Structure 1
Amino acid sequence: MKAYVFPGQGAQFTGMGKDLYDNHASARALFEQANEQLGFDIAKIMFEGTAEELKQTKVTQPAVFLHSVILAKTMGDAFKPDMVAGHSLGELSALTATNCLKFEDGLNLVSKRALAMQAACEIQSSTMAAILGLTDDVVEQVCKEVKGTVVAANYNCPGQLVISGAVPAVEEACERLKAAGAKRALILPVGGAFHSPLMEPAREELAAAIEATEFSKPICPIYQNVTTFALNNTDDIKTNLIYQLTAPVKWTQSIQEMIKDGANEFIEVGPGRALQGMIKKIDREVTTSSATIE
């Protein structure tokens, strides 16, 4: 069974999507629709912008979303998923690619999500850190012992867990985790504590936008970050999408569940190959590849 997976923030690179724009009229129309809807030339930044320009919050999340969704749409009948999942932001890409969300509604939610997260980041100094070489339970226990807000945020693959929270708490957790045997405890160059309780203001803001948006039944089950198991009920999908901002991304658990349900081929739709690397660390037996247009 084929599982299509969609990357999140951090996968962006200069030149992303230019081949789609140059070679496919339908893709070009969607990029131009996005430019008009967002009120700035995001396609130009994606194709020619610097790394710094691509890092702007209002650009990064819509850019990754657009590359993934336009690629899936341009694949046409070749895009035939038995199941899908998206890593963090990628969940909105997955929902749009499977027709649960209209293109313009998905882009609207991504744009509002990015701006709401940025606003939440400005309320309190916060960050994230990648912890390598420890089991999840050790990382979780250390986070509980630290004063202040620090939680497990991204369960990326065995031996790679990202923590998130207030800067002093994350820094203390890193020191304790190094002492506990972590191979690395690396503060990440991000603007705030995504997937932690510190994103509560963003969750409240996004909740109103999600509730006001029409969702349709997706063409296949989606495995969401919050619950990890197969869903196609729109009410459940909405609820999980709202809580995703403050809840951890259970990527390892989602991929394990998809494999248990029959997935043996994972196709990454969008920029980069980061998800393929994670999936191979979760299960070496499955095949992985990048989505292409024949």
Structure 2
Amino acid sequence: MYIGKSYTLIEFVTWTKGKIYTLLLLGFIPICLYHIFGVKWVAIPWSVIAMLGTATAFILGFKNNLSYSRSLEAQNVWTAIVSNSRSWGLVSQDYLQDNSEISKSLIYTHIAWVTALRYSMRESKRWESTNKKNNVEYRKRFTIPEQQTTLEEELAKYLVPAELQNILKAKNISTQILSLQSKTLKSLYEKQEINVTQFVDMEKSIKEFYNLQGKSEQIKNSPFPRQYNIINNLLIQSFSFLLPYGLLADFNRLNESVSGVMKGNMIWLIIPFSFLISWLYSSIAQVGENTENPFEGGANDVPISQISFQLEAELREMLGEVNLTDFNRSQNNIIL
């Protein structure tokens, strides 16, 4: 997540520069054909371009709105994880005031669940855009915490070795950790260390964590509908290609109303104007593409790593632990 006031123009241009040379070339070719080689039939009526541009803008807006909805849903899921985790920390202490070791174990195991979940959210999917050239270059500005250490190293901080080895064998580690929590609660109830009301209450919390995990996994593992993606790309590419052809006749007529050095050369202004319009369309599409996958490790992601670090600090403070690591990991106004 970007936490500065705004991206600078230099940052944004650097991020989108991969399309600049292509768009400039697309504006240069029709001018050569029309103005230099005299191929006048390449000029397209502006009404055709206007209709195509309107359709492109409509689909682009629709797709970006859906992309933002996915990101907002992901933010809501992790906000709910934070709220429920705080409640878990409170009841783990209040219900087990006479057994601080078990209370600590329940809280540490929960931190392990949050850790395992964020690692699974950072796994690369084939439809994500993190490996595209522009994103790879921009990612030099920050590091992804889940790529700095392994999951095993992180879980070893919160789980005993015997539990850790069994959990690492599971296909879904997060699910296995919640199952471990449930087994612990059952054992506590059988030993009469918690009563039936407390047992049911804590089991409901685990069920809610399962639900939130499922919602987060659904966003991660379900790509944005490909049919919208392909039609959006085709429209933008078609519009960018045809736009300068639609400007030829109108800019050529401007020569009749000017004098001096620009007389007869007004048509060359098509290059900057067509570039600017096409660049704006393609840049908006690129923003949407990098919003639709809110866990992939991009600058506009939901900051699940920072959320996890902050949540860990709060839960450990509930246990009375002090001198904790500073979990504020902002890099160039970006937190993950």
Q: What TM bracket, shorter-length normalisation?
A: under 0.3
As a proportion of its length, which structure holds more helix? 2
As a proportion of its length, which structure holds more strand? 1
* TM-score, L = length of structure 1: 0.26
* TM-score, L = length of structure 2: 0.24
